[in-house]
Structure 1
Amino acid sequence: MWASAWLAGAAAPDDVLDALAPWADAHDVVAVDDAAADATDLPLPTRPPSSLTFLLAALRRAAPRGQARLVLPVAGDIRGLPGPGAFSDAALAAGEGILFPDAGLGAVPGIVADGVLRWTVHVVRDQLPPPDYVPLNHAEFDLRDQVRQSASVLTSLGVARHRPGVREEIAAALRSRPRSMWPDGMPPTSLRVLQHADEVDAILAAASVDEPGGALSASAASARRDALRPIETAVRVARRAAVAEAVRVLATSPAV
């Protein structure tokens, strides 16, 4: 969202850097191979890494008014990825990535050391699938509906039983997330959906934990997995829809 706002002239580069700071003490940037290095002037992984400032500059050179697209692929759900290749493999392994279709570039984040987040930049020239457009209100409704539909299954498995301290676990999981900063003009609906998705994600994490001394049988664990999977999918869809709507609005915001 911040990259799209900056490319549209609706955010200052320092604001982008400040917004990413809570996610890691340091952000490195490298090009995955010679093609990406030639296209962006970023260093290869064998050389000292560059910084986000140089990544922003490379994006501006490649597509001055481009927009970013979030991908959240997992096995069995690779919507939004280009064809087979290094970017798709890396994004699938990380569970996330960002595409800049107009620039023909993509970036995948990954922790490489304590407090160091590395963005690896790829050339992505394969024809991308059209954006997986989901109306934000539909994504929000489906997220709530999936939580409601799965509740009875989880209860029958004992997953939703009261566990001492479970509310504290969920609250702690939410507190542990980096503090998000939002660009001016961030759509309130996108913000609400992203916050709800974070809450559901924290509940999913708590629901995946067995009670002390109460490990599930293999069949029950499989049933739990099946019950949680639609909610996980709904969380990803809601996040993608919220980000897509925010990008659309921010990319048309008045320049600062």
Structure 2
Amino acid sequence: MPCPSATMVVWASAWLHGATAADDVLDALQIWGESQEVRAADDELAARLDLPGPQDTPAGPALLLAALRKSGATDGELALPAPGDVRGLGTASPFSKQALRRGEAVILPEAGLGLVPETVAEGILRWTVFPVGELPPAEHLPIGEAEHGMSSAMREAASTLIDLDIAKRRPGVRDEIASTVADRPKPPWPEDVPQRPLRILQRASEVEAILWVATDDAPGGALSASATRARTEALRPLFDSVRAARRASIAEMVRVLAESASKH
């Protein structure tokens, strides 16, 4: 689903390149929580970036932007780790463990920083800033390849649903999928982002909604253990393609915004 880390990557990158105002970044983040907090994961990093430490009262998000500027950060990258797929996170570390637990993170490779969001109370989103060592280069997936992969995923998802007889076991399944997509947050994006990655992000949400419905058994319709395993194995590549498409779309937005800013 859309996530706070994707919003942070695009808007913070745009701001760091001078393509948008700090207030626009803060406003965009509010869709994920009316109140945003920030703190550093350890005292050494807190002292270096002038952020609250892990035992201190968290600060507001404006201080995070100041810390990113101070750190020398430029472009952000989106990480969407899942069990068995931790690409981009490097070796085990407090950052990689927290990112995997949350299923998302922001990586700022030039600054050696990672950000992980967590909802700590209703309406309150907290960003924890981690130091990260040398990470493997981000996997580059061309936007055209990502779009093709999503098209294939859509066809495979439909085929899998038919093979598993999901529609028959779930009356109203199409309405359920449409409702799942409609109920998700719709974060704003900077004006200069291209339409192609936005379109792919929308398709990613649609495919993911299909997948979640396909893995959610209706009352009285639970599959046997062996059938459940078979279904999981069949759908795993589709979940992977959704994450890959999201990463590629966000990376393309960042690239275009940086390129546009450099021309002004």
TM-score of the superposed pair, with normalisation by structure 2: 0.91
Partner of 1:88: 96
Q: Aligned partners of 2:99 and 2:196: how far apart in 1? A: 27
- Say which structure is richer in helix: 2
Per the TM alignment, residue 131 of structure 1 is displaced from its structure 2 partner at its CA by 1.6
Q: Aligned partners of 1:140 and 1:20: how far apart in 2? A: 26
Q: Aligned partners of 1:250 and 1:161: how far apart in 2? A: 45
Question: Match for 1:3 among 2, 12, 22?
Answer: 12
Matched residue type, 2:248: A
Instruction: Give the superposed CA RMSD.
Output: 1.6
Partner of 2:87: 79
The answer on whether the counterparts of 1:39 and 1:123 sit within 8 Å (CA) in structure 2 is no
Between 215-224 and 158-167, report the one with greater CA deviation: 158-167
Partner of 2:64: 55
Structure 2 vs 1, CA of residues 194 and 153 (structure 1 numbering), >3 Å: closer, same or farther? closer
Partner of 2:158: 151
Structure 1 residues without counterparts, runs of 5 or longer: none
Tell me the percent identity.
51
SS at 2:159 equivalent: helix
Per the TM alignment, residue 150 of structure 1 is displaced from its structure 2 partner at its CA by 4.4
Partner of 1:227: 234
The answer on whether the counterparts of 1:29 and 1:120 sit within 8 Å (CA) in structure 2 is yes
Matched residue type, 2:125: L
The answer on whether the counterparts of 1:154 and 1:224 sit within 8 Å (CA) in structure 2 is no
Q: Aligned partners of 2:199 and 2:169: how far apart in 1? A: 27
Matched residue type, 1:17: L
Per the TM alignment, residue 39 of structure 1 is displaced from its structure 2 partner at its CA by 2.3
Instruction: Note the 1:71-220 alignment, pairs <5 A.
Output: 71-124=79-132, 126-161=133-168, 163-220=170-227
Matched residue type, 1:228: L
Q: Aligned partners of 1:84 and 1:24: how far apart in 2? A: 29
The answer on whether the counterparts of 2:79 and 2:105 sit within 8 Å (CA) in structure 1 is yes
Structure 2 vs 1, CA of residues 170 and 149 (structure 1 numbering), >3 Å: closer, same or farther? closer
Number of positions where the alignment pairs a residue of Structure 1 with one of Structure 2: 254
Per the TM alignment, residue 175 of structure 1 is displaced from its structure 2 partner at its CA by 2.3
Between 175-184 and 50-59, report the one with greater CA deviation: 175-184
Structure 2 vs 1, CA of residues 135 and 160 (structure 1 numbering), >3 Å: closer, same or farther? farther
TM-score of the superposed pair, with normalisation by structure 1: 0.94
Matched residue type, 2:40: A
Partner of 2:45: 36
